[in-house]
Amino acid sequence: MRFNRPTLGALSLALLFAGLQGGQAHAASIAEWEGCSSITADVDRLACYDRVSGHAQPEATPVPPAGARTETLLEPLPVAAQPVQDEPDMLSALSRHWELDDEAKQGAFLFRPHRPNYFLPIKVSNSPNDTPFQNTFVQPDLGLDSLETELQLSFKIKGMEGVFGHDNFDLWFGYTITSFWQAYNDTISSPFRETNYEPEAILTYRTNYEIAGFRGRFLNLGMLHQSNGRGEALSRSWNRVYAQFGFERDNLAVLIRPWYRIPERDEDDNPDIEDYLGHGDLQVVYRKGRNAYSLLLRNNFKSSDNRGALKLNWSFPLYGRLKGYVQYFNGYGESLIDYNHSQQSFGVGVSLTEGM
């Protein structure tokens, strides 16, 4: 067998060092030393030399020489039995949105989505509401296009967890802004036709009961203000308090929200708004995979002059977190400026969060 000079020199020094240790090293063969020198990793090669020279640490794992059968040198170590853990239950959409379960809670002062966040670059209405703007343009024959865009941004922040010293109570603050933009209407300089602002405070109480096969998950007590921030003839606003009940069954969520309008102290911009927007709404949300379908209903519950609205939304995956978004609306009050105007509209765009 031939060895190159560096290998023989290293082996000679190692053997000499081993002989000076007062018999601490065992009688190592040339094959064992050569097996160590063939190891490429520095740490493993040093451990091999320590073992062959008799300086291996008791807790070190022995390294087999080159060509040796592993099973003849190593004994299997006993493996402690690991307890089998149950997989955690998947959190429901309502639990994630309102942090109803302990596993869902993230603490206070973090931004979360509230209502859907979306952008509809294409939205068509069959009956644009020109009436409120007839006296606002320099030329009275100018009107609104049936094609426009819509943008909604909505978030909420948990202000306090465990209100009243009770784990089932949380305090939230929400804010939603919805803008309708005549982006393609160059005739009137492409203005924002309407923007609605909606701040609200919500006290969430976690519940757990069964009714008609549905599980009652929460009760929201809220107060909100909604206005379009305009003055004089275009001003629209109202204040409400509401109670919202949340139910779920598998992938289906149902939210029932009756409200009461707080009377205006000063001059009322829209005293008949309840005749069109009613006294509450019903929302149904169904999820299948990464698709979400929602239905929103409003009605004034009057036999004569019955008015209401219907809104259908569908979100579906596009790329990563980006989702496609389709919206259909039919009825009164798509925006505050249109509270007493009925129309149908259809929009297509994208969304980042679905909301509730």
Catalytic residue, chosen from 146, 179, 225, 235, is: 225
119 touches 349 (CB < 8 A):
yes
Q: What is the pLDDT of residue 16?
A: 40
Superfamily of domain 95-353 in the CATH hierarchy: Phospholipase A1 (2.40.230.10)
Cα 280 to Cα 299: distance, rounded to the nearest angstrom: 7
Neighbour-count burial of 99, counting CB atoms closer than 10 A to its CB (0-12 exposed, 13-18 middle, 19+ buried): buried
Which ranges in the chain are annotated with CATH 2.40.230.10?
A: 95-353
Cα angle for residues 254, 257, 259 (degrees, 5° grid): 175
Cα 152 to Cα 160: distance, rounded to the nearest angstrom: 26
> What is the 8-class DSSP label of residue 164?
G
Whether residue 225 lies in the annotated active site: yes
Render 213-269 in DSSP notation, one character per residue.
Answer: TEEEEEEEEEEEEEE----GGG--EEEEEEEEEEEEETTEEEEEEEEEEEPPSS--S
Whether residue 315 lies in the annotated active site: no
Catalytic residue, chosen from 227, 235, 279, 342, is: 227
Among candidate residues 324, 258, 312, 325, the one with its CA nearest the CA of residue 284: 312
Residue with tokens 């465990």: 162
What residue type is 150 in one-letter code? E
> What is the 8-class DSSP label of residue 311?
E
Radius of gyration of the chain (CA): 36
Residues 6+ apart with CB under 8 A from 127: 341, 342, 343, 344
Q: What is the pLDDT along the chain (356 residues), one digit of tens a residue?
A: 444 444 444 444 444 444 444 444 444 566 666 667 667 666 677 777 777 776 655 554 555 555 555 454 455 555 554 544 443 446 889 999 999 998 888 999 999 999 999 999 999 999 999 888 776 554 455 589 999 999 999 999 999 998 988 889 999 999 999 999 999 999 889 999 999 999 999 999 999 999 999 999 999 999 999 999 998 889 999 999 999 999 999 999 999 999 999 999 888 989 999 999 999 999 999 999 999 999 999 999 998 899 999 999 999 999 999 999 999 999 999 999 999 999 999 999 999 988 87
Cα 293 to Cα 274: distance, rounded to the nearest angstrom: 27
Q: What is the pLDDT of residue 80?
A: 52
Structure tokens at 69: 């059968």
Q: What is the pLDDT of residue 66?
A: 55
Cα 54 to Cα 179: distance, rounded to the nearest angstrom: 79
- Count of CB atoms within 10 A of residue 185's CB? 19
What residue type is 10 in one-letter code? A
